[in-house]
Amino acid sequence: MKNKLFNILLYIFLLNSINIFSLDNDIKEIEPIESIYSDENSSVSVENNEKTISENSYQENYKSKNSNIISTNKDLKTNKKEEDDREDKFEEITDRTNRITALGSAMGAVDLSKTPANKFRVGAGIGHSAKNQAVAVGIGYAPTERLRLNTKISTTTNSTKSNRSNGISIGASYDLDW
């Protein structure tokens, strides 16, 4: 067991000393065999080629990173715009829901259920929901003791003309002897 452990440690040490596992990110070009046996001018040109290749790869890498940054920034701007559009739509839906709730509250405040037979009844009501106000008016008629008819209309009061909401309801009820 000690022999195996020693062999493993020796192997790791030798690998590290040979520097196979280099942490350098630059990959260097190996000189061809011909340049070793040629004159000094050839080896100088190899070094110049190496520098040129290194500079070109650096510039290409730099341009690539810049284009990636630019496209990422464009994507972020597009996503931000889409997010803002969604927020605007969400606020619009919330506002419409609150206006409709105010309309329903105003109509609910108009009570026409106790209209006597052969009589008309008029009512009015107001409703409020999250900064939205509405008013409603209604009229009811009972042609018989058991049958009642009514209609109501409502509108929001604090909305602009383009955002104004209106509502109308028509109803009938009949009393059963159950």
What pLDDT sits at residue 153?
97
Q: What is the pLDDT of residue 112?
A: 93
φ/ψ of 11, rounded to 5, equals -65, -45
User: What pLDDT does residue 122 have?
Assistant: 97
Q: Which two structure tokens, joined as six digits, stand for 161? A: 């003309």
Q: What pLDDT, on the 0 to 100 scale, is given for residue 151?
A: 97
Q: Where along the chain do its domains lie?
A: 40-178
Answer for the pair 135, 126: CB distance below 8 angstroms, yes or no.
Answer: yes
Q: How many CB atoms lie within 10 A of CB 144?
A: 10
Q: What is the pLDDT along the chain (178 residues), one digit of tens a residue?
A: 667 777 777 777 666 665 554 555 555 555 555 555 555 544 445 455 555 555 666 666 656 666 666 777 778 888 888 888 888 899 889 989 999 999 999 999 999 988 999 999 999 999 999 989 999 999 999 999 999 999 999 999 987 777 889 999 999 999 998 8
Q: What are the phi and psi torsion angles at 92 (to 5°)?
A: -65, -45
40-178 topology per CATH: Pantoate--beta-alanine Ligase; Chain: A,domain 2 (3.30.1300)
pLDDT at 43: 47
pLDDT value of residue 55? 60
Q: What share of the chain is helix, strand, coil (3-state, %, to 5)?
A: 50, 25, 25
- 3-state secondary structure at position 16: helix
